[in-house]
């Protein structure tokens, strides 16, 4: 069975990952709008990730970590 295409809702709210994203974004000196522009998604997508309501694709997770200057594992380490 092929994986779903497009955005995926997180099965459970992941507040810890959301907090790590928010902290890394602020440390990088980016607003939600700035990060969304850097990675090519809407500001609402960034908000959903920071609240733990949205699980990004691997591709988007890599783009976010690069834009923030951190590793993917530091943001989404389970």
Q: Does domain 11-76 have CATH number 3.20.20.70?
A: no
Position 77 confidence tier, pLDDT thresholds 50, 70, 90 = confident
CA dist 57 and 29 (Å) reads 24
| Domain boundaries along the sequence of the chain | 11-76
DSSP SS3 for 78: coil
For residue range 13-64, what is the model confidence (pLDDT) as tens digits? 567 899 999 999 999 999 999 999 999 999 999 999 999 899 899 999 999 9
Does residue 9 surpass a pLDDT of 80? no
Task: Determine the pLDDT at residue 15.
Answer: 77
Tokens representing 5 are 């295409």
Q: In whole angstroms, what is the distance from residue 60 CA to residue 26 CA?
A: 18
Structure tokens at 8: 């995926």
User: How many other CB atoms sit within 10 Å of the CB of residue 14?
Assistant: 19
């Amino acid at each position: 069975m092929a994986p779903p295409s497009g955005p995926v809702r997180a099965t459970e709210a992941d507040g810890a990952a959301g907090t790590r994203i928010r902290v890394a974004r602020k440390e990088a000196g980016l607003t939600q709008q700035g990060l969304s522009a850097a990675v090519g998604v809407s500001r609402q997508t960034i908000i959903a990730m920071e609240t733990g309501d949205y699980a990004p694709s691997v591709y988007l997770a890599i783009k976010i970590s690069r834009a923030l200057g951190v590793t993917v594992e530091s943001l989404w380490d389970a």
